[in-house]
Amino acid sequence: ELQLLETGGGLIQPGGSLRLSCVASGFTVNSNYMTWVRQAPGKGLEWLSVIYAGGNTYYADSVKGRFTISRDNSKNTLFLQMNNLRVEDTAVYYCARGLSYSYAFGYWGQGTLVTVSS
């Protein structure tokens, strides 16, 4: 069974850094594109970043230059390094895997909450 489990969320002060992890099971993280999506409290879904199977990465303008997506194939884990965090980065962060044959996010983790506050 394909599963994703995010960890690493918590309370962090503005300007701080945090690294989120997304451990995959049932597939390998480098076999398909994987993405991060967030949802601020009471708001909609916001796409953040993608890493393709070939390694190319892309970011939303709101996080470009501050967030970095990466993966560790040996640990079968996806990461999101978040630097210079802002209050508006407060959200539940989800990792998701695309379908093998479509640019749809077919598999999601349960999410991890990041709270940026002083």
Partner 1 sequence: SYVLTQPPSVSVAPGQTARIFCGGNNIGGRSVNWYQQKPGQAPVLVVYDDSDRPSGIPERLSGSNSGDTATLTIRRVEAGDEADYYCQVWDSSTDHPGVFGGGTKLTVL
- Select from 95, 68, 78, 81 the least CA-distant residue to 31: 78
Query: What residues have CB less than 8 Å from 83, skipping those under 6 apart?
Result: 17, 66, 67, 68
Shortest spacing between CB 73 and partner 1, in angstroms: 23
- Select from 34, 38, 22, 36 the least CA-distant residue to 76: 22
Residues 48-77 as x/- pattern, contact with partner 1 by CB under 8 A: x-x-------xxxx--x-------------
Compute φ and ψ for 87, nearest 5 degrees.
Answer: -55, -35
Contacts with partner 1: how many residues (CB under 8 A)? 24
Check residue 37 for interaction with partner 1 (CB under 8 A): yes
Check residue 78 for interaction with partner 1 (CB under 8 A): no
Closer residue to partner 1 (CB): 79 or 105: 105
Shortest spacing between CB 111 and partner 1, in angstroms: 6
d(CA 97, CA 2): 10
Tokens of 96: 């998701």
Binding residues vs partner 1 (CB under 8 A): 35, 37, 44-48, 50, 58-61, 64, 94, 99, 102-106, 108-111
